Every structure is written in C-alpha cells, then in structure tokens.
Amino acid sequence: MTRLSSASSVPARRPAAAAGHPRDARLAALLVLSGLLIGAVPAQALKIATWNLVVYPNSILASRQPNLRTAIAAMDPDVIALQELKSAAGRDSFLNNVLNVAQPGQWAATPFFLSCESAVFYKPARVVMVFSGSPISTGGPRDVLGVLIRPVGYSAKSAQIRLYSIHFKAGTDYVAERESECASLRTTLNAATSAVTPNFLILGDTNFYGDDEGGYLRLTESQSDNDGRTFDTLNLPGTWNQSGYSSYHTQSTCSSGCPTDWSTGGLDDRFDLILHSASLADGEGLDQVPGGYVAYGNDGLHYNSSVNAGGYNYAVGMTVANALYWCSDHLPVVATLQVPARVSAASQLAFGRVIVGATAEQTLTVADGAVAPADELDYSFTAPGGFSAPAGSFTAATGAAGNAHTISMSTAAVGAASGTLTVACDDPDSTAKAVQLSGTVLAHASASLDSLVVTTGMGLDFGTLAGDSTVDLPVRVHNANWTSLQARLEVTGGEISGGDGHFSIVGGFAAAELAGVGHTYDVRFDAAGATADSTYEATLVLSGSDEALPGSAAASDLTVTLSARTAAADTGVPPGLPERIAFLPPSPNPFHGSTLLRFDLPADANVSLELFDLSGRRVATLVQGPQSAGRHMVRWSPAVGGQGLQAGLYFASFRSGGYGQTRRIVLVP
C-alpha cells in the first residue's frame, strides 16, 4: 500500500546500560502491565496471524528471506494470512524458501488467487484446511479471500473457523470506497454464518484510521442481521494515530532510509487488524485467549520510530526486531485462540461381582483433555436404571487431573445389571459421552449338608466297632442350589469337639471353595484305646462364608453329630458289625462318573437297592436279594444298556424288611 500520512521523527532511544536503572525499571513495569514482555502471551493453543508483506516478492527478496525466516521462527504461528502476494510464484517462494526453511516440513498453503493478492499458510499438524478458499468480490481493487479451517482433532462445525483475508483500498481519499467494500463484506458475512459455522475472523490490512471510519462501523455495528457482526478485541476509541495507542500500531516498521517499497515515518498507524465474531468472545468453546492479541514486535516504546530504533525492543529482542525491520513495513498481528473442551473419561466401568446388600461403587474421573489454553469442560450425568451418579453440573479445568466422581450400582436385587451412563458436556465432538456400566449382584452362598435342600445338621453313626478297628465315613458339604448368580462358599474351618479324641478328619481339615460341586471330608472313628461296650459322641462343626467379595458374610455353621460304639468283650457280637440298619448318604453327590452307595446290616437280611429317574422309571437295580450282616458298598456308574443317562436328579431307594429310605442323587454333566 502507499502510505499517505506524514510522521515526525523522534530521537533514537536506548535502554539504560546499568541493571536496576530507574528508567529500566519503569520500562519493565510498563511492559509487564501491557502484556508485551517476551513470554507474557499465553501458551499457544491456536495462533493465527496476518501480515501485509508489501510487494512480495520484490527486488530485495534475497535479503528479505533470511529475515522473514527469523521472524517466522520466533512468532511460530499455526496459521498466517499474507497480503500483497503478487504471484503464485511469490506464494511458492514464501512457502518453500521461508516457512519450510524456518520450520522444515511443517507448512502447507492454499491456492493463490491473483484477484485477492493473498494466500493462507497453515501447519497440517495443527490445522485442517476444510475449504481451501475462493475470492469474494466487494467492489474494491482486491477481492477478499475466504477459507475454512478447524483445529486438528476436532470435527464439529462449532470447532471450525472461517478466515477472511482482506486488503481494503488505502488512503484518506478512499474512506467512502472502504465503507462500500465493508458494507458488501458485511452482507456476505450475514448470509454465510448460518450455513457454515458462527466462528469467523476478518484479518488483514484495513487501512482504517480510527473507529469512526464508515468501513469499521459497517463491520462492527449492530444491524437487523447480526450474524456477520464483528468485534474489535482492543476497542480503541477515536483516531488511532496517537501515542496513547503506541502498543497497537503496525505501520511503519521504518522511520527513514527505508528499503524499497517501504513507507516511512515509523510506527504510528493501526492498519492491520483481526476482527472476530461474537462466538469467539463468549467464553465458551473456540474462543479468543485474553491477552493473546498482539501487534507482534511492538513494545509500545517506538511510536513514530523504527521497530528497532535505539538498539532495543522489549517485545521480541533485537534479533527479531532487526528482522522485522527488513521484512515489511507492516508488523504482523497475532491472535491466540483457545480450543474447545475435550471430554476425557473411561468408556466403561465394571463393578464386577458383588453380593446382595453390598455397597457397589466405582470412581469415574472426568477431565478436560484439550491442550491448554482451552475451554473448561462443563458436564453433567444421566444414569441408567439400577445405577446412580452425582446430580448437578460440574466443571473440569484444562490441564488439571480431572474430577473424581462416585458412580453406584444398586445391590437390592440379585441379577446382572448393565446400562449406559451419559456424560452430557460441551465437547463439540462428543456432547453425550457414553460410559458403559456393568456388574453382577449375587445371592449369598448357602452352606448345606445336602445339595438341593438346605440342611445344616445331620447325624453320622459309625455303628459298633471292635476295639482295634477304625471306620471312615464321608461328610459331604454343598453350596445348595448353586447358580452363577450365587456367591461361592468358602469352607474355612472344621473342628471336632468331644469323643475323647477318637474322632478326626482324615488328613486334617483343608479349606475348600464350593460352587456347583460339593466337597467331601472323611471323618474317622478310631476304636484303639476306647473303653469296651461304650458309646462315644462328638460334634463336627464346619464353618464358612461367602467368597471374598463386597457384601461377603458368614455362612451358617454345619453341625454333624458323630456317634460310635465299641463292642463288649464278651458279647459274642462279630467285631465291626453295625448295631442298626442304615442307608448312608451317597458319596460323592453330585457326581459325574460314579458314586458310592453304602448300607449297614446288623444281621443277614433281604435287601432291595434300586435307582429311579424323576418320572419314576427304574433305571437300575443294584442289589436284589439276601445280603449278609455287615457294611456294604455298591458303586453305581449311570448306564443303561450301554447308553449313558442324562444329567439330572435321580432317586436311590433302599428297602430291607420294614426299613426303607430314599436318597436323592444328582448326576452332573
């Protein structure tokens, strides 16, 4: 552009040489307050810049490019819109000889449109170019270049940004023409917003002299359609060419003796602007970062002088300030945007197996996974039936560890539970984050001496034994009626009291965990040392509990009354004969391959031992006819005619004289 305003010169200024000089302290304080010290700009989320390069490329290209590389490396934008690009070759030159040399392999560019004299350059690792551009006519000497971008990692329209690279007609004689251009652009903006995204930036060389210019007013005023209304982050009233606005001027980098095509007069005009939509300043989602808007390289101390005058620049240092002096007679303008929130939470919570009545809780940590600076994550929960989550709204800050929430599962009823917990949030790509919940509530274990009916007590009679004999009888422990919705039974103790030490558990007690298959403890009576013609009694107590799960409780004790007699020395009773007839419990039961059926006869007798299925059909006859006195054992392997029986419930029927007893037997697969 051609600079038409005049500018006075001021003496070169230098910082005090000695550290701690009062003037140095004043400058530092000023720079801290104005946010212009190096490093004072917030950490980068999405850094968007605009820069009028002034006739690029031109005759001093060879000397400009090293300085451009220095400035780009220091500024480190993610997106930059350039004005006054004069050719596609110029676009390629800047891409290949400046950007990808300063930051190798990081940059790409939109197509070049001669009518716009502009192109947008971007880092594909940081930005997706959704739409690579088209010219928008405003009736001025240059068209507006419009492109559409979004941050990498986002896909929602609310995370996209329309960029409009502008360069309006320059000079105080063309105020009306600029107003006409801006009125046309405002009409385009009003119509375009609802079709794409509400987020947009107008960035470039406006050639505005103050906030009273018609063009500025057309872009920023309230109209009947405010979809395309823009806002000025700085909102500086009046004419901008004044010392009070010295921190925001972008032209000229050179006061006198400037390179070819440069204007003169030093920094005193705020021509280069980035105007934003209302959606980029509402505190939510994609938004401008406070303090992130700067005229890059302007430390506020070079009004009407070169950007490197006096040998100091407190915004960027002298290396970059010298480079900016030789790059262009405009300074870049940079706006930093925060990215939208990103919900971070587990996709599933498994409560596992718990026992009815237990407290079943899991911790769900919800965090904002966006890279700072970013919008905070606002969220709430909706829990499915059978589960509960905290009520209310919550906020997670970017970069924080996240909020830990207790999610609960109801354990009032036995059964499998599942559902989807919804985290409703302002992550534009995941407004309803789904967390799959699952768990199983088990019934308590059921300790029993019978596999089908809960039996917690029984008697075990060893009969009459000679003084030098031992007898082992089985005690079968079950988790009665076990299903997959029932806790396993942990048998944790077995203790015999009484009997003068003649009763014992063979091999000692060993803990067992029972599900659908019982466990046998062999109990022994040893008559050695016992008094003849005596009765011995003892009690076996087997204790246990639910398996070690939330809600575990002690199971009912199982009590077995043990009894045995010793024969008198002169009774004439054959040693070891039982005193009474008995049909003992089958063992094992339930069983898979075979089971042992036992009966006692104190005298010779006729015996019938038969097996029946549930329908009453006889499936086996094991004993039929006279049997001698004594203890008898019959092993049954369930087969009929060589064909195996189906798993299920069977009945063993024992008959001898007037004595009869039926016992249930369970055949498992």
For the stretch 403-426, pLDDT in tens is 999 999 999 999 999 999 999 999
Cβ proximity of 242 and 197 under 8 Å: no
d(CA 78, CA 199): 17
Check residue 398 and report its DSSP letter.
Answer: B
User: Which amino acid is located at 264 in the chain?
Assistant: T
Phi, then psi, of 216 in degrees rounded to 5: -60, -40
Q: Looking at residue 225, what is its pLDDT?
A: 94
d(CA 594, CA 288): 80
pTM value? 0.73
Give the three-class secondary structure for 206.
coil
Average pLDDT over residues 176-202: 91
Average pLDDT over residues 638-649: 70
Identify the sign of the CA torsion 494, 497, 503, 508: positive
Cβ proximity of 248 and 234 under 8 Å: yes
E-strand ranges in 108-191 read 108-109, 118-122, 127-136, 144-151, 161-167
- 31 pLDDT band, cuts 50/70/90, is very low
Q: Looking at residue 336, what is its pLDDT?
A: 95
Cβ proximity of 118 and 140 under 8 Å: no
Report percent pLDDT > 90 for the chain. 70
Average pLDDT for the chain: 89
Q: Looking at residue 575, what is its pLDDT?
A: 56
Residue, of 37 and 616, whose pLDDT is higher: 616
Summarised one tens digit per residue, pLDDT across range 206-258 is 999 999 999 999 999 999 999 999 999 999 999 999 999 999 999 999 998 88
CA nearest neighbour of 337 among 37, 78, 35, 33: 78
Angle at 179 between CA 173 and CA 185, to 5 degrees: 140
Write down the H helix ranges in 80-230: 88-93, 100-102, 175-192, 214-220
Q: Looking at residue 30, what is its pLDDT?
A: 40
Phi-psi domain of 392 (left: phi exceeds 0; alpha: psi -120 through 50; beta: other): left
Residue, of 167 and 516, whose pLDDT is higher: 167
Residue, of 476 and 376, whose pLDDT is higher: 376
- 463 pLDDT band, cuts 50/70/90, is confident
Structure tokens at 17: 């040489």
Average pLDDT over residues 661-668: 86
d(CA 398, CA 421): 23
CA nearest neighbour of 273 among 235, 227, 311, 305: 235
Q: Looking at residue 44, what is its pLDDT?
A: 59
Structure tokens at 30: 């000023």
Asked if the bond preceding 373 is cis, omega within 30° of 0, the reply is: yes
Q: How is 480-528 classified by DSSP, letter by letter?
A: TT--TTBPPEEEEEEEEEEGGG-EEETT----EEESSS-EEEEEEEE-T
- In Å, how far are 57, 92, 553 from 165, measured between CA atoms? 18, 18, 73
Residue 606 has pLDDT above 70, yes or no: yes
Phi-psi domain of 644 (left: phi exceeds 0; alpha: psi -120 through 50; beta: other): beta
Summarised one tens digit per residue, pLDDT across range 50-83 is 999 999 998 888 889 999 999 999 999 999 999 9
Residue 19 has pLDDT above 60, yes or no: no
Residues near 533 by Cβ (< 8 Å), separated by ≥ 6?
A: 565, 566, 567, 568, 569, 571
Q: Looking at residue 296, what is its pLDDT?
A: 98
Q: Looking at residue 193, what is its pLDDT?
A: 65
Q: Which of 20-24, 27-31, 473-477 has the highest mean pLDDT?
A: 473-477
Q: Looking at residue 556, what is its pLDDT?
A: 96
- 316 pLDDT band, cuts 50/70/90, is very high
Phi, then psi, of 440 in degrees rounded to 5: -135, 130
CA nearest neighbour of 265 among 274, 282, 252: 252
Cβ proximity of 362 and 398 under 8 Å: no
**Domain annotation for the chain: domains and CATH numbers:** 22-338 (3.60.10.10), 343-442 (2.60.40.10), 443-579 (2.60.40.10), 580-669 (2.60.40.2550)
Summarised one tens digit per residue, pLDDT across range 498-537 is 999 999 999 999 999 999 888 989 999 999 899 988 999 9
Which residues, listed in sequence order, are joined to residue 366 by a DSSP beta bridge?
A: 403
Residue 183 has pLDDT above 60, yes or no: yes
Average pLDDT over residues 313-338: 96
Please report where in the chains the tokens 């004043």 appear, as a residue: 26
Average pLDDT over residues 455-465: 82
Q: Looking at residue 576, what is its pLDDT?
A: 65
- In Å, how far are 115, 138, 168, 183 from 141, measured between CA atoms? 8, 9, 8, 15
Check residue 284 and report its DSSP letter.
Answer: S
Cβ proximity of 559 and 368 under 8 Å: no
Which residues, listed in sequence order, are joined to residue 410 by a DSSP beta bridge?
A: none
CA nearest neighbour of 134 among 154, 111, 106, 157: 111
Q: Looking at residue 578, what is its pLDDT?
A: 84
Q: Looking at residue 657, what is its pLDDT?
A: 86
* HSE (side-chain half, CA atoms, 13 Å) at 25: 4
CA nearest neighbour of 287 among 402, 158, 192, 393: 158
Residue, of 553 and 464, whose pLDDT is higher: 553
d(CA 194, CA 476): 77
- In Å, how far are 71, 246, 305, 332, 649 from 252, measured between CA atoms? 16, 12, 8, 11, 100
Taking each helix axis from N to C end, the angle separating 318-327 and 61-75, rounded to the nearest 10 degrees, works out to: 130
Structure tokens at 482: 């076990």
By mean pLDDT, which of 28-32, 193-197, 481-485 is the weakest?
A: 28-32
- 25 pLDDT band, cuts 50/70/90, is very low
d(CA 569, CA 25): 118
Residues near 525 by Cβ (< 8 Å), separated by ≥ 6?
A: 462, 465, 470, 471, 473, 499, 502, 503, 536, 562, 564
Identify the sign of the CA torsion 96, 102, 107, 109: negative
Identify the sign of the CA torsion 94, 95, 101, 102: positive
Average pLDDT over residues 335-348: 95
Cβ proximity of 370 and 396 under 8 Å: no
